[in-house]
Amino acid sequence: MALPPLDSPQWQSPWRAFAWGLRSITQTILTVVLFVTYLGIGALAHDTHFSLIWALCSTLFVWAGPAQIILITTLGSGATIVQSAIAVTVSAIRLFPMVVSVLPLMRTPKTKRRELIFAAHLTAVTLWVECHRFLPQVPRERRIAFVHGLGCGLVSVCLTANTVGYFLAANLTQTLGAAILLLTPLSFLFSTARNSREVADVVALTLGILLYPLAAKMNSGLDILVSGTVAGTIAYGVHWWREVRA
Amino acid sequence: MSLAQAIGDWHALAVLFVAGVVPNQIWRMLGLWFGGGIDEGSELLVWVRAVATAILAGVIAQIVVEPPGALASVPDILRYGAVGAGLVVFLLTRRSIFAGVVTGEVFMLAGKWWLG
């Protein structure tokens, strides 16, 4: 499927632009990655005793995979609400630069801020990547409608995956249930590693994994925050040191 | 599954809102309101990104080291082996997420079958 040329009459209706956005989810491997990831999140929610509606609401209203597994894992292992909220807040800061960089792609001089609220809500790493790929092929005045379509398509895929994963975890044999749960760490590890372009990202990922078991031994209840802050700060130090030397 | 089961308890949904929805939407709406004047490459954002990545890495480690539910039935060696095997193939295939995930899964399932 190729998008119509920029001057095609097909772009005259915002609804058509929405439909083109919706259909674009079939044009990317990231849709498959998302499906697998949210299959795992559904299964994880089931095995940590959250309800199906809870899992679906987290996908609809949080709409950020990393934040969702941090929330499920910390709450599921007995962290307090405040501890979970801090860990989620820190993980969500990355949405800020994403929104800042993606909204100007959709804005026209006449665009009002409230017209961008839903697009801001839909912004997460997959949409951010796909906007940079697709939007140059979409006329500027139809981009918001296109992004709404693309985002709604991706959310629907993830809600479906959550439901399937939840019921699979409830009904499969123990081994297959374990296989579904293993999807979450594998898909997050490799998709984060793939997005790591700078040395600091690689150091943060590697040290974050290696330091967690050490931090967990301290049994402070803040394990994730301790290992994350230490590993992230060391990674930043490496970045800073390379900048100074360069 | 009954409707009551599907909804679960309201307390958990309230926690989802406080600890999950609000912390995420705050950053998105700040991006929407103050988007113009922020330097994406600023040193503070570099540090924040690094800490956020390391927190996610910690959660990935937690799921493998202290597995929830059915995953706890898989022996340690198989869980670590699955991640290791997946990582090797991921790197060998020039960072194919798909190849890495499939390898990890096959390793774990084959190991389970072999151990009986």
Chain A CB contacts of B85 under 8 Å are none
Gap between the Cα atoms of A198 and A214, Å rounded? 25
Let me know if A111 is exposed, middle or buried by CB neighbors in 10 A (0-12, 13-18, 19+). Answer: middle
Question: Is the CB of A95 inside 8 Å of chain B's CB atoms?
Answer: yes
| Per-residue confidence (pLDDT) for residue A224, from 0 to 100 | 81
| Chain B residue at shortest CA distance from A69 | B59
Can you read off the two tokens belonging to residue B60? 């990935």
> Among A58, A131, A143, A67, which residue's Cα sits nearest to residue A99?
A131
Phi/psi at A10 (5° precision): -55, -25
| Per-residue confidence (pLDDT) for residue A29, from 0 to 100 | 77
In chain B, what are the domain boundaries? 1-38, 39-66, 74-116
Question: Is the CB of A29 inside 8 Å of chain B's CB atoms?
Answer: yes
Phi/psi at A198 (5° precision): -100, 160
| Per-residue confidence (pLDDT) for residue A179, from 0 to 100 | 92
| Per-residue confidence (pLDDT) for residue B46, from 0 to 100 | 81
What is the helix (H) or strand (E) element at residue A116, kind and residue range? none
**Angstroms from A9 CA to nearest CA on chain B:** 31
Q: Do A179 and B105 touch (CB under 8 A)?
A: yes
| Per-residue confidence (pLDDT) for residue B38, from 0 to 100 | 56
Question: Is the CB of B9 inside 8 Å of chain A's CB atoms?
Answer: yes
Q: Which residues of chain A have pLDDT under 50?
A: none
How far separated are the first and last CA of chain A, in Å rounded? 45
- Tally of CB atoms within 10 A around A133: 12
**What type of residue is A7?**
D
**What type of residue is A85?**
A
Q: Coil, helix or strand for A177?
A: helix
Query: Are the C-beta atoms of B38 and A97 separated by less than 8 Å?
Result: yes
- CA-CA-CA-CA dihedral for B8, B12, B18, B19, to nearest 10: -120
Question: Is the CB of A36 inside 8 Å of chain B's CB atoms?
Answer: yes
Gap between the Cα atoms of B97 and B91, Å rounded? 9
**Angstroms from B55 CA to nearest CA on chain A:** 4
Q: Say how many residues make up chain B.
A: 116
Q: Do B59 and A69 touch (CB under 8 A)?
A: yes
In chain A, what are the domain boundaries? 14-180, 196-246
Chains A, B: CB pairs < 8 Å: 321
Gap between the Cα atoms of A9 and A43, Å rounded? 44
| Per-residue confidence (pLDDT) for residue A62, from 0 to 100 | 97
Question: Is the CB of A233 inside 8 Å of chain B's CB atoms?
Answer: yes
Gap between the Cα atoms of A98 and A170, Å rounded? 36
Query: How large is the average pLDDT for residues B12-18?
Result: 94
Examine the pLDDT at B21 and tell me if it is beyond 60.
yes
| pTM confidence score | 0.84
User: Which residue, chain included where needed, has tokens 């959660």?
Assistant: B59
Name the residue facing A85 among B18, B97, B104 (closest C-beta). Answer: B18
Chain B CB contacts of A81 under 8 Å are 15, 18-19
| Per-residue confidence (pLDDT) for residue A79, from 0 to 100 | 85
**What type of residue is A147?**
V
Could you tell me the pLDDT band of residue B39, with boundaries at 50, 70 and 90?
low
| Per-residue confidence (pLDDT) for residue A104, from 0 to 100 | 84
What distance lies between CA B46 and its chain's CA centroid?
A: 21
**Angstroms from A157 CA to nearest CA on chain B:** 18
Q: Do A90 and B104 touch (CB under 8 A)?
A: no
- Least confident piece of the model among A96-110, B12-26, B66-80: A96-110
Higher pLDDT, B84 or A112: B84
| Chain B residue at shortest CA distance from A215 | B58
Question: Is the CB of B1 inside 8 Å of chain A's CB atoms?
Answer: yes
Top residue of B97, B113, B115 to mutate, by most chain A CBs within 10 Å, is: B97
| Per-residue confidence (pLDDT) for residue B34, from 0 to 100 | 78
H-only helix segments in chain B: 3-7, 10-15, 22-34, 43-65, 76-92, 97-115
- Distances A196 to A31, A190, A199, A246, B49 between C-alpha atoms, Å: 20, 10, 8, 20, 11
Query: Are the C-beta atoms of A170 and A67 separated by less than 8 Å?
Result: no
Q: What is the average pLDDT score of chain B?
A: 88
The C-alpha R_g of chain B, in whole angstroms, comes to 20
Q: Do B6 and A52 touch (CB under 8 A)?
A: yes
